[in-house]
Structure 1
Amino acid sequence: MAELLGTHRSPERSEVDAAIMWLIEIAQQAAAVGELELLEECCNGAFEWDARWDQWTPQGKISPWLSTLTGDAASAVAATLRQHPESAGHFRHLADNIRTDHRIRAAVSRP
């Protein structure tokens, strides 16, 4: 991230928010067209940053999107969430939402 910013300083929270949301916006488009590899890569980066920084603004935008995923996209994102349990914990409230795909619910449930 420091290389992308052109500096060796730690990123600011607003920059982390922007990076997470950029990745999620690409992930949303990838999910819409069935590009599962791109979806997984974007989610991997976004969830890694979320796990490290616990960014509430992106979480508030990611959560409603997670609850809309179905099929292969839900499976791919659930697998990525399981790789980032700290981030998955930020979406634990979806575990009780019966409208959320069962794979996402399982990925965000307590172990």
Structure 2
Amino acid sequence: MVLATILCWVSWFFVILNIDPFETNLSGFIFFYVSIFLAMVGTFSIILFSSYQVVNKRERPMYFHVQKSFRDSIVMAIFITALLYLQGSGLMNVWNFVILVSAALSLLIFLIFNKKANSV
């Protein structure tokens, strides 16, 4: 997981260095947002997995913490990527931020309390 995260950050830096945002087409922006999304998912997964291991002293299988950290990191990365997109498009305002925060919290609460998602 660490190696994949490092590769995602390297790919994001290549996108930053090689793609001019003023002259690129849609594919340049797709590369930017996908690479930063994957890099954030990996980074947040590692950080959350480490914190879940430290905080939860109970004997639980490792896959439980990996699944939980991956789920939470996807929600956080979607939230931050959406914030970046809205800011880059000039659409960010207080109401869009409030709607995005409430949508992210609703998704996270749904995933936490969903029986099927927690039973794996």
Q: Same fold (TM over 0.5)?
A: no
Give the TM-score normalised by structure 2.
0.35
Select the structure of larger CA radius of gyration: 2
Q: Which has more helix, going by share of residues?
A: 2
TM-score (norm 1): 0.37
